[in-house]
Structure 1
């Protein structure tokens, strides 16, 4: 049905309202003779307002495609800004290095900073370590869920990833990456639904965590972690994915923001 806001429609409604309210034949008027015109006026006002507001468009249009496009546009914008920031950092580094060739104090500070780059996570490292991979349970299709289980039990949660990360740090990990992104002890691990939010980027399972350190000590720390044990119980009950392998691994350099909120001079 199409509703318009033309003058003719309003004239008909007003005439009917007036006809219903003015005294006519001597017989007693029922409540409907007054109520129907009032309802008609209210309905006409509602339809006219709706037509004016819509302006020829659908008021209940699904906006999910627009949101998806907005997310993609922002993701591309972030990637472009990160690339530009990398170019600027390289330019600053190049000019600083050029100045260091003729300026002894600058060269001294560069050498001093280089001593702490590895400890701060700004250089890639390779060595023996452990790789842990967590994954959601396989899709069940038309099958029913296990007794007492919900869909929430079939996905990897933030606490599961944090349990593995904390256990590896506690086991003496020298360097660590999640989804091939270098993380520090101050890096925040967040989950949105069944996706991982890390340094402003979203990652889908399986989640791969790599740590450099003594493999035996790292594996012992994983075995002693209560959070990891609970996740392994869910692996047995709900078919969640868990793998733990020992090999020579590489952890990339830290590339996120290096903005400092506070700092102390190392001694």
Structure 2
């Protein structure tokens, strides 16, 4: 009798269980809409930085394209006075909004190799990585050496360019980058090299290059094609004397 009762309960409960299972599968299918409910995510720092860099590069290209369209429309409104046009061209070169070419140098900075980090657990981690001060020191030395134009990670450096550390990355124009860091300068290669050699900061950096194998390499370049700066020129913090300060919504990094 007990056995027959259990069998009866099973026959009654089985359809209910199957119905519940069916509802769960249907709900999952509806929520997923044909996609994986647990998609894989790239949560590594390098992956996140690369993703943000790609997104920023796409937005920068879009901004440059729209700016080009605006310039074309402005040109269609009427020709500019030759003297004013030349002045605008000269200023564009100085500001960095015009591509330039010429000989120069490329300085590459790298963190210490993983094996050096592993073999020196008691060493301050800050001694084993490249910091914003290192990049700034190289840039300042190249300007001191008479550089006509400078780029970092193939992005043009202008007067409002800021370089800062955020975690293990360096942020340039609001975009994070991981090493190696490449700083390129167009100018007299002899004078640029001499300025690097004369820098006291870079001389101190060389001690860490020797002791902890930080990467510091200088390469002569016979022909550099440096892109124009394609971001916004709005100031976020700096002000012009004699002019009322106006708030800016520019996403660019504030000037040094």
> Which runs of 5 or more structure 1 residues have no equivalent in the other structure?
1-63
CA-to-aligned-CA distance 1:127-174 (integer Å, 9 cap, x gap): 12111100011101895218x622221111111111111111111111
Equivalent residue for 2:141? 167
Cα distance in 2 for partners of 1:142, 1:130 equals 29
Equivalent residue for 2:19? none
> Which runs of 5 or more structure 2 residues have no equivalent in the other structure?
1-40, 242-256
1:219 is aligned to 2:219: no
Equivalent residue for 1:94? 72
Residue 226 of structure 2, aligned match among 248, 251, 263? 251
Residue 114 of structure 1, aligned match among 89, 92, 98? 89
| Counterparts in 2 of 1:144 and 1:125: CA distance versus 1, 3 Å | same
Query: In structure 1, the residue corresponding to 2:114 is in which secondary structure?
Result: coil
* Structure 2 counterparts to residues 1-267 of structure 1, below 5 A: 78=56, 81-101=59-79, 109-140=84-115, 143-145=118-120, 149-248=123-222, 249-259=224-234
Cα distance in 1 for partners of 2:129, 2:180 equals 10
CA-to-aligned-CA distance 1:8-45 (integer Å, 9 cap, x gap): xxxxxxxxxxxxxxxxxxxxxxxxxxxxxxxxxxxxxx
Normalised TM-score (structure 2): 0.66
Based on CA coordinates, which of the two structures has the bigger radius of gyration? 1
Displacement of 1:81 after TM fit? 4.2
Cα distance in 2 for partners of 1:244, 1:74 equals 28
Cα distance in 1 for partners of 2:227, 2:54 equals 22
Query: In structure 2, the residue corresponding to 1:253 is in which secondary structure?
Result: coil
Cα distance in 1 for partners of 2:42, 2:205 equals 36
Cα distance in 2 for partners of 1:71, 1:131 equals 23
Cα distance in 1 for partners of 2:183, 2:50 equals 26
CA-to-aligned-CA distance 1:103-132 (integer Å, 9 cap, x gap): x66x76444312322122111111121111
| Counterparts in 2 of 1:74 and 1:241: CA distance versus 1, 3 Å | closer
What is the aligned residue count?
197
By relative contact order (CA 8 Å, sep 6+), the higher-ranking structure is 2
Cα distance in 2 for partners of 1:130, 1:67 equals 33
